[in-house]
Amino acid sequence: MAEESGRQTTAIQPRRDQDFPEWYQQVIRAADMAENSPVRGCMVIKPWGWSIWERIRDYLDFRIKATGHENAYFPLFLPLSYLEKEASHVEGFAKECAVVTHHRLEFKDGKLVPVAELEEPLVIRPTSETVIGEAFSRWVNSWRDLPLKINQWANVVRWEMRPRIFLRTTEFLWQEGHTAHATEEEAWQEAKLMLEEYRKLMEDVMAMPVIIGSKSPGERFPGAVDTMSLECMTQDRKAIQAGTSHYLGQNFSKAFQIRFNTPDGKMEYAYTTSWGATTRLLGAMIMVHGDDNGLCLPPKIAPYHVVIIPVLTKAERNEAVLRAAQKLKAELEARSFDGSPVRVHIDGRDIRAGEKGWMWVKKGVPLRIELGPRDIETESCVVTVRDDPQLAKTVMPHTQLVRTIEEMLADFQERLFQKAWAFREQHIHTDISSFDEMKAFFTPKNEEKPEIHGGFVKAKWCGDQKTEELLKEMKVTIRSIPIQQSGTQGRCIITGQPATIDAIFAKSY
């Protein structure tokens, strides 16, 4: 049930404006999406969270295959020597790696202890460029073998010191694409193609507006020539990196000898890419769309579009209510939204209707319908749209609901995107012109006006990697060098030197 705080009644305590990180945890708990596992930093994804992930995964898997990639699977364990072959790669991931050193346990003094040391330690994959690079070196011999376009759905492990469900976990799920090409231009086009596919997922399906651009050298993927990312803004005005696409050049090809015979008989190194999106998308979705009553799901990824709650009494009319609910369900499922039937669930559990209603509010289902004996008589129902701040109930004839259901869901999807877009645009600041001003902006002590404090700073940057070190004290990073550049000259926000690069600065998750 909702808890009252002052004049505002909300299902989630604390509210977003009181303690955003704790609000986030409480939304996950209230929506029954996931929980911490016995192993620190790992999570159990529960059915509701998993069903949302499945909707995201299925859409993305379809698009990956539609753009000419094939799914495969590669080992969880990487020989330590593989990771050593690409110097910047091992340097970038060394601190995050989990390492297996033994392969057998025995009881000693009543405790299990590892006893059989491996000849070579094995790294639990933090990413798969190395093991896939080794495979590509065997699979690629001729220009006729290219392009080679492979994707895998897998789990990875990156030892996380400050875990948070979905956002940063030691083990998480993702897809990682890896491709090899005969030319630099073809590889670049591949990296950009998948960046656009991610944009479609995040904006068109998840209703999350993103900023697309390149990473600065200090934020680039280890071993990449260029990393392009998609950054979204959360409601506490921080950034989340929602996906990345890397142009790797010939770095991994040279490390793993991915070579091919050209049509004129020469041996050349292939150009490679990699790209990925993770279960972090669930955390981003919560932080972008959630409210003080819980989740608010974009219809395109909602497990159910509509939940029907029969309002039952002890009277014999209950059978009539349940029949009417089944009939309405069938009529709604005969309609379509986003190319598939409307997804409808009847909650017939022996629980009070009000309690069931709040449960589905917290789970974020777009439309909730109450149907009782009086509604049957008038051939109507009571409809609540999840993104209504007041959760107002509207009486609607069955025929109108069925006729307009696709439009209602499409409008809901668009409203979520436009609301998130407007919020982001409101909190991108372009009027900060000096490093001192930026330090004041990002310093927590200057939060006297929280309604205007925080967000992204868009300013000029000189491109010197050394300047990125000066941002660490503020816990700020260059989140993106947007693809769309103004081309104007100004002064670097950090050094004051002449600069032409437009950059986005922000705190991040």
Distance CA 81, CA 88 (A): 14
Distance CA 24, CA 220 (A): 28
- Is 104 among the domain residues? yes
182 in Cβ contact with 270 (< 8 Å): yes
- Is 5 among the domain residues? no
| Helix (H) / strand (E) containing 195 | helix 184-199
479 in Cβ contact with 231 (< 8 Å): yes
- Is 422 among the domain residues? no
Q: pTM score, two decimals? A: 0.95
- Is 12 among the domain residues? no
Measured from the Cβ of residue 355, the count of other Cβ atoms closer than 10 Å reads 11
Query: Quick one: residue 473, left, alpha or beta (phi over 0 = left, psi -120 to 50 = alpha)?
Result: alpha
Domain of 400?
299-414
In a shared domain, residues 225 and 173: yes
Beta strands 477-482 and 501-506 are antiparallel
For residue 499 the two structure tokens come to 């600069």
In a shared domain, residues 57 and 188: yes
Alpha-carbon torsion angle 58, 160, 509, 474, nearest 10: -160
Structurally, the chain folds into a number of domains equal to 3
Length of the chain: 509
In a shared domain, residues 136 and 220: yes
In a shared domain, residues 235 and 256: yes
In a shared domain, residues 48 and 70: yes
In a shared domain, residues 157 and 46: yes
For residue 236 the two structure tokens come to 């506490």
Measured from the Cβ of residue 19, the count of other Cβ atoms closer than 10 Å reads 14
CATH number of the domain bearing residue 484: 3.30.110.30
In a shared domain, residues 362 and 262: no
pLDDT tens, N- to C-terminus, the chain (509 residues): 454 444 457 999 999 999 999 999 999 999 999 999 999 999 999 999 999 999 999 999 999 999 999 999 999 999 999 988 877 787 888 889 999 999 999 999 999 999 999 999 999 999 999 999 999 999 999 999 999 999 999 999 999 888 999 999 999 999 999 999 999 999 999 999 999 999 999 999 999 999 999 999 999 999 999 999 999 999 999 999 999 999 999 999 999 999 999 999 999 999 999 999 999 999 999 999 999 999 999 999 999 999 999 998 777 678 999 999 999 999 999 999 999 999 999 999 989 999 999 999 999 999 999 999 999 999 999 999 999 999 999 999 999 999 999 999 999 999 999 999 999 999 999 999 999 999 999 987 544 555 556 899 999 999 999 999 999 989 999 999 999 999 999 999 999 999 999 999 999 99
In a shared domain, residues 373 and 255: no
In a shared domain, residues 33 and 105: yes
Distance CA 169, CA 283 (A): 11
Helical H runs in 221-290? 251-256, 280-289
> Which of residues 258, 289, 320 is at a domain's end?
289
Query: Quick one: residue 472, left, alpha or beta (phi over 0 = left, psi -120 to 50 = alpha)?
Result: alpha
Q: Is the peptide bond before 14 cis (omega within 30 degrees of 0)?
A: yes
CATH number of the domain bearing residue 284: 3.30.930.10
In a shared domain, residues 354 and 472: no
In a shared domain, residues 105 and 240: yes
CATH number of the domain bearing residue 390: 3.40.50.800
- Is 89 among the domain residues? yes
> Which of residues 414, 444, 466 is at a domain's end?
414
- Is 239 among the domain residues? yes
- Is 15 among the domain residues? no
- Is 420 among the domain residues? no
Half-sphere exposure of 341 (CA within 13 A, CB side): 9
Distance CA 248, CA 228 (A): 11
In a shared domain, residues 373 and 311: yes
> Which of residues 414, 449, 476 is at a domain's end?
414
